[in-house]
Amino acid sequence: MTDQLRADAARLLREARAVVVFTGAGISAESGVATFRDALTGLWERYDPQQLATAEAFHAAPDLVWGWYEWRRALVSRARPNAGHHAVAAIEAHAPSTVVVTQNVDDLHERAGTRALVRLHGSLFAPRCVRCAAPASLPPPPGDTPEGGGRIPPPSCVECDGPVRPGVVWFGESLPEDQLAAAVRAASTCDLLLTVGTSAVVYPAAEIPRVAARHGAPVVQVNPYETPLDALADINLRGPAGQVLPALVAAAWPDAGGAR
Ligand code: BJW
Ligand code: ZN
């Protein structure tokens, strides 16, 4: 990241009235939460999404799928927000019309203090009944799950005894309508979209930066590697979110003492 690119991005951020921060798994990587598609460390390098992240997989092997999500819930519960999550919360503190649109199913944005949050792919912490959709409450996550979680039978719904499923959006499933509509609305009316830590290959979420660009908003991308958004982005800031975002916030609001 050159100083000039950072200064240009900081000016866009400082002058923006409505900011959308669009995040993916990369923002949580420095908290120790694995991404999906990074070489060597990504979840899809070690696990088959067709066997774990589809409704068909849950139907065929509910205990395998539930065990995997319980393992991930336990890992995320032990993780802590990093400097990138805190910098995103600081952007909202400086520019109150900020909306954070996340594809992540962890809760690290909330724990860093983000308030205006749109969740496109659900949450590890919001399971629901397959049959009647009633929300289910979960005990604290298991402390000593083996790698990958092993087989754990899903709990039964207290309302109808149906199986409880993870509250995430699997491949082939529709995104929550209200959340997708809120994301499209925010992207259509923002005057800066900051995309952070996403490979931008999963649709329809990957449309969000493109919607903002179509409506004339500049796009700034934060990612250590190339993505399909490189050509769309007005500014590409190469580097890890936990370093780039605090530096960007400090450059945008130098009198505020950096990311709060
Ligand atoms: C760092 C970093 C650091 C690393 N700092 N950065 C159009 C075209 C083609 C296909 C489709 C299409 N429309 C729909 C589809 C099908 C499908 C899809 O998109 N498939 C493509 C993958 C080919 N989409 C769907 O199925 C969606 N539903 C849908 O479209 O419904 C309508 C429909 C219904 C019926 C039939 C057909 C259509 C649903 C998608 C749900 C995605 N779910 C997952 C799993 C959630 C649950 C779970 O966690 O298990 O969501 S998949 C996974 O990918 C997860 C993520 O939210 C999502 C995006 O990944 P993300 O966040 O970008 O992570 P990575 O790992 O890909 O990238 C990390 C990035 O971080 C990298 O760029 C790194 O460089 C970077 N990085 N360290 C900053 N320190
Ligand atoms: Zn039920």
State whether the Cα torsion 116-120-124-129 is positive or negative.
Answer: positive
Angle at 60 between CA 77 and CA 125, to 5 degrees: 20
Q: Which atom of ligand 1 is nearest to the CA of 199?
A: 73
pLDDT of residue 96: 87
Whether ligand 1 lies within 6 angstroms of the CB of 199 is answered as yes
Mean pLDDT across the stretch 19-43?
97
Whether ligand 1 lies within 6 angstroms of the CB of 102 is answered as no
Query: 153 CA distance to ligand 2 centroid (A)?
Result: 16
Whether ligand 1 lies within 6 angstroms of the CB of 224 is answered as yes
Residues 184, 186: Cα–Cα separation, whole Å: 6
Whether ligand 1 lies within 6 angstroms of the CB of 21 is answered as no
85 belongs to the catalytic site: no
* pLDDT tier, 1 (very low <50, low <70, confident <90, very high otherwise): low
Tell if the pTM clears 0.95, that is, is over it.
yes
* pLDDT tier, 142 (very low <50, low <70, confident <90, very high otherwise): confident
pLDDT at residue 259 is higher than 80: no
For the chain, domains (ranges, CATH) are 1-33+81-124+175-254 (3.40.50.1220), 34-78+128-165 (3.30.1600.10)
Residues 212, 92: Cα–Cα separation, whole Å: 18
160 alpha carbon, closest ligand: 2
